[in-house]
Amino acid sequence: MDLEISNPSPLLSKTDYISYLQCPKKLWLSKNRKDLKPAVDETQQAIFDQGFIVEKYAHKLALFKDPTQTAEVKDWYQKGQAETKNYIKDGYKTIFQANAMTNDLYCKADILHYNDQTNKWDLYEVKSSTEVKDEHLPDLCFQKIAFEMDGTPIDRTLLIHINNEYVRNGEIDSEKLLTIEDLTEQVENLRQITETNIPKALEIIKPANTEEVQIRIGKQCDNPFKCPFKDYCWANLPDYSIFDLQRITEKQLTALQNLNIQKIADIPDDFDLNEKQQNQVTATKTGEDMIDKESIKTTLEALEYPLYFLDYETFGSAIPLFDGLRPYQQMCFQYSLHIIRDKGAEPEHYEYLHTGTDMPVPHLLADMQKNIGDSGSVIVWHKSFEMGRNQEMALMYPEYAPFLNSVNHRVFDLKEIFSNQHYVSAGFKGSSSIKKVLPILAPHLSYDDLEDIHEGETTSLYWYKHIYSNSPLKDRMTKNMLEYCKLDTLAMVEIWRMLGGEV
């Protein structure tokens, strides 16, 4: 090993190294400005908890299962390192949470497993993703280097991840739930660059290095992870900025930043934009909405009464909750439906929210089938989501397949009016999300007035934490969830009206 590391100051952990690769400033801030880092929120905590659960299932794999040969390191740093070395000396073949530590580097490996054929150790990393991601390779490479420097020879480096083809049937079967991929070669290919990067990262975390690292904000702030320092680094960015330009490329972003341009309104007229971007910029500069009334009218005239405005709320988890589900499959537990039976009629509202602890889908389908007839348009926002759920539910419950297929044949995606730019407003800020469109077209309706729930992605967590798990807040959350989902479909009704529906 020709890695030269002489700095005996603070340790560079695996997490630190991954931070460095995302952005050197992120690494510096994480060491020197911990005060800027927001507390872990409920959604992030749920992701961490899921990771721990997946790791526990990995421990149950037959490969690691012999209790006489398996040990788990409980400590950290020097104590964790000593514990690891003792288990190795005592002949254990599998060590969970093995620690490696040198003067500069530190890591915990999810699993070390002794390979009798090579007389070296295989290093396993457990991830709750459904595939190998680019960021997993440097993670493994860092660990391999740290263990080898600490005197533990590593042979293969492998990733254990979720198999998204797995379908739950009774007790969770670790052998089927998880997939093991041997990444030894790809990881070895990264050794040279990793050995070059580690001293650079160590330089940043030297205590003497008190100057904040200067890095321009960019796409790295959300890739591969949302950076926890965004509030700090992005504080001076205008509310509606070049980052809101639809599908902005790295090249465009760099060019605009080099011109010192932050606001959409300041983008030069001769700047190279695609058609949709150009429309967004024009609407922003003129302050006037661009509305293709003819296209909207033609599109809406194709709708057939009764009109069904439909929205689902779903829950997905790495470990499927019920039989018949795959990992991360989005299981519908709630729907909201507004029906306008005929031209000029007032909307009627129907809904279902599963409050029991059994599989929600058949209950939801039975209820929904009573309320959606076999003719009329089904209006959704972002059709691939609702149609995808309908296809999955049709496979799981074939008795509902004719109904769900009929619904899918009649789906109309209201969002497309905005994503296809028949209506462009600076107020949408380059987005066609209903949360951005609603305040412009129907400002009298607001998600802000709802208690506790403000974002669609957290509704699944609320359902799981409070309703499915019978928390003391169950009644309140049930009421809130019903209001939230009802607003989603009412918002579609109002947007449809504002676009000229019913006229």
Chain residues in the site for ligand SF4 (CB under 6 A): 22-23, 25-26, 29, 215, 217, 220-221, 227, 229-230, 233
CB of 24 to ligand SF4, least distance (A): 8
CB of 296 to ligand SF4, least distance (A): 39
CB of 132 to ligand SF4, least distance (A): 23
> Which two structure tokens, joined as six digits, stand for 119?
């007389």
CB of 249 to ligand SF4, least distance (A): 18
Decide whether 147 or 229 has the Cβ nearer to ligand SF4. 229
CB of 220 to ligand SF4, least distance (A): 5
Contact 347/501 with Cβ under 8 angstroms?
Answer: no
Decide whether 25 or 168 has the Cβ nearer to ligand SF4. 25
Instruction: Give 150-209 as a DSSP string.
Output: TT--EEEEEEEEE-TT----SS--HHHHEEEEE-HHHHHHTHHHHHHHHHHHHHHT-TT-
Decide whether 26 or 415 has the Cβ nearer to ligand SF4. 26
**Phi, psi dihedrals of residue 323, rounded to the nearest 5°:** -55, 145
Burial class (CB in 10 A: 0-12, 13-18, 19+), 19: buried
Task: Tell me if the bond preceding 138 is cis, omega within 30° of 0.
Answer: no
CB of 134 to ligand SF4, least distance (A): 16
CB of 458 to ligand SF4, least distance (A): 22
Decide whether 59 or 230 has the Cβ nearer to ligand SF4. 230
Decide whether 29 or 495 has the Cβ nearer to ligand SF4. 29
Among all chains, which residue has been given the structure tokens 């007035």?
449
Report how far residue 64's alpha carbon sits from residue 376's, in angstroms, rounded to the nearest whole number.
56
Instruction: Give 268-325 as a DSSP string.
Output: -TTS---HHHHHHHHHHHH---EE-HHHHHHHHHT--SSEEEEEEEEE--SS-SSTTP
Contact 48/165 with Cβ under 8 angstroms?
Answer: no
**Phi, psi dihedrals of residue 499, rounded to the nearest 5°:** -80, -5
CB of 51 to ligand SF4, least distance (A): 22
Decide whether 25 or 415 has the Cβ nearer to ligand SF4. 25
Task: Tell me if the bond preceding 24 is cis, omega within 30° of 0.
Answer: no
Decide whether 30 or 277 has the Cβ nearer to ligand SF4. 30
CB of 344 to ligand SF4, least distance (A): 51
Instruction: Give 119-138 as a DSSP string.
Output: TEEEEEEE-SSSS--TTHHH
Report how far residue 292's alpha carbon sits from residue 425's, in angstroms, rounded to the nearest whole number.
12
Dihedral class, residue 39 (left if φ above 0, else alpha if ψ from -120 to 50, else beta): beta
Task: Enumerate the β-bridge partners of residue 321.
Answer: none
Decide whether 36 or 366 has the Cβ nearer to ligand SF4. 36
Decide whether 12 or 487 has the Cβ nearer to ligand SF4. 12
